[in-house]
Structure 1
Amino acid sequence: MTQSREEEFARDAAGVAQEQRDIQSKIDAKEHRSFESKDGEDKPPQTGAREYPVPPLPEQHQAKPGIEAKLEPAPMYDAPFYKGSDKLKDRAALITGADSGIGRAVAVLFAREGADVAIAYLDEHEDAEETRRAVEKEGRKAILLPGNVADPAYAEHAVRKTLEAFGRLDVLVSNAAFQEHVPEFEDLTPEQFDKTLKTNLYGYYYLAKAAVPHMKPGASIIATGSVVGLLGNKQLLDYGTTKGGIHAFSRSLATHLAPRGIRVNVVAPGPVWTPLNPADRQAEQVAKFGAQTPMKRPAQPEEIAPAFVFLASPQTSSYITGEILPIIGGYSGG
């Protein structure tokens, strides 16, 4: 792969990010929402190893694809109370969308469990560098792979670079996603529908297709699904379609790859405090993000990442494949 080809991937990724912002701007221009806080709400429960932020959160709205370094409060990804135990010792993982949010938290815990990590991302270079530093702080190797997951050539490139850097590929995490809500069905343009499917569903397919020939028995594929793919969402029609597709594709791929000793599973989170949602919703809605769950708050990335460790490690999930693991704070859609 020549340097000019890598520069081409980077230029393409920057163009895709601009396309995402163009889709977002049409919705932003139309929306004029009202927001009122409610008095007398119950104090949100705290169930974790440390206290997590609860709504109301600071009002904020970002241009896509969203930058974690600008998010307030900063998402909690480092899981200081999580102790590694070599569940992924000397393995290699390729994680898409690993610059921020869930992807970053997964990268950190994979490294803490002994894995080297290829950090695939669009063009959020500052965030990606922070993820690399966090992985290296855990004593493992990391490489950065900017590019567009919807490009099959990039998928081949990312897998090849992972193999060159680490000599193996044991875990593929398909986590990259595009999300933009629509107030009315008429606002869902063919361009947005296509962008969402190409990023979320085709991207998963391209990466899996490139990775599987190099994966050996005991390897694992994990996709990030969503509660939206389980319960639906009236303003996330295209996003919900892709997440439901990811669930179905993973179940089918799991049965197909079982004879080869490759397990395939899905983690389906509810609301999680990452750049994805402030880069979608208006600032007033972001302030109450996650308040509709029984936990009355969004999850933090470090609360989701251990599920990926569980599903990636043959020590903990050798008999688990084709499953969808919801982590949705008790939310039932009611």
Structure 2
Amino acid sequence: MSREENLKSQKPKKEYLMDDDRQNLDPVPQVESDAYKPADKMKGFNTIVTGADSGIGRAVAIAFAKEGANVALVDLEDNEDLKSAKARIEELGVKCLTFAGDVGDEDFVKETVKAVADEWNTIHVLVNNAAEQHAQESLMDISAEQLDRTFRTNIFSTIFWSREVFPYLAENGAVINSSSVTAYKGSPGLMDYASTKGAIIAFTRSLAQNKEFIEKKVRVNAVAPGPIWTPLIPATLGSSYEEHAGVPMDRPGEPYELAPAYVYLATSDSSYVTGQTLHVNGGTVVNG
């Protein structure tokens, strides 16, 4: 088996909790807030959000829909979470497409982007949010397979999606990448994950300076969340709500608390912002 065949044979791991299981979390992660007041800032926008069936991606997709955007949801599996996210978005009166597959598979990315473009012609915003993490206490425990998988899902996908979407991006469009506070302060239990998040920052800064993107007036930015209470946390790290904090605000963030940052970067409100990272992290001071 060739190296490429071997990589393609590796399946990304979906370890999120399903809708029913999520309801048993204490507290239940909140992807919406009644306090959010939309203002049609994205009316008529066509958007793509990867890693969109739960957590931050779901919160961002719903916020986009509330602002009037059509949303293409991309996630690993066509499961009840993805279906319920689609139903909620359509309930908000906008169009929604769903796609299931490996975001790190180049062929899947090409096929999905083309399908979205065939349906909507123009794409205004791409959110590269899909990610996976696998905690290991020792560097010696990080296998080549895990390393390949984490980098493929987290950074290869970010590059693939950005490249394939570009021809269809509207002038003044936006690419928004999800990084992490771990890119800045490190994480001894998530060394490969933190490395990919650092790579996302470098890619964001580099792509923002790309001549083709500048000429098309496409802005490229990132959001670096701190500890956010999503189904991924108890499923992959095993930590409780109380344990998953360690920030000055002394609590994890909720997914909905990230969404306004993405709305800001997706709209003309951030027309003079590119190559930057917004830190929504509960008060952790980082060096940019």
Q: TM-score, normalised by structure 1?
A: 0.79
2:176 match: 222
2:161 match: 207
State the one-letter code of the partner of 1:295.
M
Matches within 5 A, 1:76-115: 76-115=30-69
Matches within 5 A, 1:102-251: 102-123=56-77, 125-251=79-205
> Which segment drifts farther, 140-149 or 164-173?
164-173
Matches within 5 A, 1:262-273: 262-273=218-229
Q: Residue by residue, what CA displacement relative to the aligned partner does 1:163-201 show, whole Å, maximum 9, x if unpaired?
A: 223232110000000101101111111111111000000
Q: CA deviation at 1:259?
A: 2.3
- Structure 1 CA distance for aligned equivalents of residues 17 and 185 of structure 2: 25
Q: CA deviation at 1:278?
A: 1.5
Q: CA deviation at 1:224?
A: 0.4
Q: Residue by residue, what CA displacement relative to the aligned partner does 1:142-168 show, whole Å, maximum 9, x if unpaired?
A: 011001011011111221121223232
Which structure exhibits the higher relative contact order, with contacts defined as CA atoms closer than 8 Å and separated by 6 or more residues? Answer: 1
Q: CA deviation at 1:98?
A: 0.6
CA RMSD of aligned residues (A): 1.7
- Structure 2 CA distance for aligned equivalents of residues 304 and 69 of structure 1: 23
- Structure 2 CA distance for aligned equivalents of residues 132 and 80 of structure 1: 19
State the one-letter code of the partner of 1:331.
T
Unaligned 5+ segments in structure 2 are 1-7
- Structure 2 CA distance for aligned equivalents of residues 159 and 202 of structure 1: 16
Q: CA deviation at 1:332?
A: 3.9
- Structure 1 CA distance for aligned equivalents of residues 192 and 145 of structure 2: 11
More strand by share: 2
- Structure 1 CA distance for aligned equivalents of residues 198 and 186 of structure 2: 9
Question: How many residues are paired up?
Answer: 274
1:67 match: 18
The 8 Å contact of residues 217 and 260 in structure 1, kept in 2 or not, is answered as: yes
State the one-letter code of the partner of 1:322.
G
Q: CA deviation at 1:287?
A: 4.2
Aligned mate of 1:259, from 215, 220, 223: 215
Q: CA deviation at 1:233?
A: 0.7
Q: CA deviation at 1:69?
A: 3.8
Identity %: 38
2:279 match: 326
Query: Which structure has the greater CA radius of gyration?
Result: 1
Q: Secondary structure of the residue that 2:86 maps to in structure 1?
A: helix
> Which segment drifts farther, 303-312 or 207-216?
207-216
Unaligned 5+ segments in structure 1 are 1-11, 22-63
Q: Residue by residue, what CA displacement relative to the aligned partner does 1:205-239 show, whole Å, maximum 9, x if unpaired?
A: 11111100111211000000000011111111100
State the one-letter code of the partner of 1:209.
R
The 8 Å contact of residues 78 and 99 in structure 2, kept in 1 or not, is answered as: no
- Structure 1 CA distance for aligned equivalents of residues 279 and 124 of structure 2: 23
Aligned mate of 2:254, from 291, 294, 300: 300
- Structure 1 CA distance for aligned equivalents of residues 110 and 139 of structure 2: 35
2:5 match: none
The 8 Å contact of residues 92 and 169 in structure 1, kept in 2 or not, is answered as: yes
